Structure 1
Amino acid sequence: MAEQNNSNPAPDAIVDEARRALGWAHTARFRTTASQLDQLPQTELPEIAFVGRSNAGKSTAINTLTQQKRLAFASKTPGRTQHINLFDLGPKMVPNAIFADLPGYGYAAVARGAKLRWQKVMADYLDVRRSLVGVVLMVDSRLGFTDLDHQLMSFVAPRVGNGSVKLLVLLTKSDKLNRAESNAALESAQAVLGELATDEADVGVALFSALKKSGIDDAAKVLYSWVHG
């Protein structure tokens, strides 16, 4: 994960920072759902989108980050959820950010027409959603970037490149890897992301395991910083 600054905060400060970020993420609550972009509310709140291939662990990662078991719907049939779900964060009456859970992509059993429709919806969302400030891409650490992941990144690459949108890649299910495999997965991801942004602070990558609760503090701190600076 890209360094946010050159200072070395004290351990207590790091703990407090993580606690604050996790407490903020825990405030997430359902706002609305939409099957088309024009159904989404226009808002000035900074929006963070979660995207990923079906079976990459996206819903589980969202639930883990927010410390809520059923905030994001994890269908037993991957690819079935075909809506954009929005969640408010921050104080109840004055939310200060939105999480957007986009449909998983690439599941073989989904009809071709639905795949193409959702490919266009996600491409348009990542291209034109004005309030979007960051994208969290879930990639199965055992598989690395698939062709569909590369295609997804191509949708958001122009906005990452000009610094208007930040990108965090979470290598999910990292508990399935040993240390050598984990290091190899990180190095491979860093190589893929190396030329995506002119400012390396705009792109990050980290190992993540919902099962072992690893990588959660760092991910929460990054998302918090995207909204609060």
Structure 2
Amino acid sequence: MPINLQKAEFILSAASPKDFIRDELPQVAFAGRSNVGKSSVINRLLNRKNLARVGAAPGKTTHINYFNIDRAFYLVDLPGYGYAKVSKGERDRWGKLMESYFADRSQMTLGVMIVDARHKPTADDCTMAKWYRDAGCPVVVVANKLDKLKKSEVEGNLQRIRETLELGEDTPLIPFSAEKGTGKEELLRIILASVKEV
């Protein structure tokens, strides 16, 4: 039975580890810097305008948000990191929440990490990539905002992302445009393959 991505339903916002969903369904966890267009990538994947809220001010996702996709898997939207203009206390709270999520190895089936195709990954991006690696689950890196690059820049930028994040050759790095839909089919194929294996 094909998974109907249109059947996406918001389930809950976890503010602390006791709220985490721990049932048998696979979880695909999305992370990215606050202004990298994570919500836009999620909305593009699911063909929805605003399932994941697209904030004018970066840093709108302050909890771990769970979306149930056709009762087949959870799309888990992790808090954006790195940029949002919030208090240090709030940032520390997000950090602890993320650490708890990553520490529980049973949680994640696939990690989707979103970076900006135009720029070298930041120190925060490198930390995030390490968290994914340490969690021991497969990860795919999505280089969003591809439409903002000249064709001649793409190859070099992707190489720089791969080197900076120390990605193994077996880690997919997908050039993506939430604006135009480039890369969507490839990312969906990887996500659906990962949740069907579980």
* 2:127 corresponds to: 151
Mind listing any 5+ residue stretches in structure 2 that lack a counterpart? none
Q: Deviations over 1:33-53 (max 9, x none)?
A: 111121122211110000000
Normalising by structure 1, what TM-score? 0.80
Instruction: Work out the percentage of aligned pairs sharing the same amino acid.
Output: 34
**CA contact under 8 A between 2:34 and 2:84: conserved in structure 1?**
no
Q: Deviations over 1:139-173 (max 9, x none)?
A: 0111131100111122222233xxxx111110000
**CA contact under 8 A between 1:25 and 1:220: conserved in structure 2?**
no
Q: Give the paired residue count.
A: 196
* 2:151 corresponds to: 179
* 1:110 corresponds to: 86
Q: Which runs of 4+ in 1 moved over 4 A?
A: none
Normalising by structure 2, what TM-score? 0.92
* 1:27 corresponds to: 7
d(CA) in 2 for partners of 1:105, 1:159: 18
d(CA) in 1 for partners of 2:5, 2:193: 12
**CA contact under 8 A between 1:123 and 1:152: conserved in structure 2?**
no
* 2:161 corresponds to: 189
* 1:122 corresponds to: 98
Please state how far the C-alpha of 1:58 moved relative to its aligned partner: 0.1
The structure having more radius of gyration, on CA atoms, is 1
Where do residues 1-229 of structure 1 align in structure 2 (5 Å cutoff)?
Answer: 24-90=4-70, 95-160=71-136, 165-194=137-166, 196=167, 200-201=169-170, 203-229=171-197
Cα RMSD for the two superposed structures: 1.7
> Secondary structure at 2:172's aligned position in 1?
strand
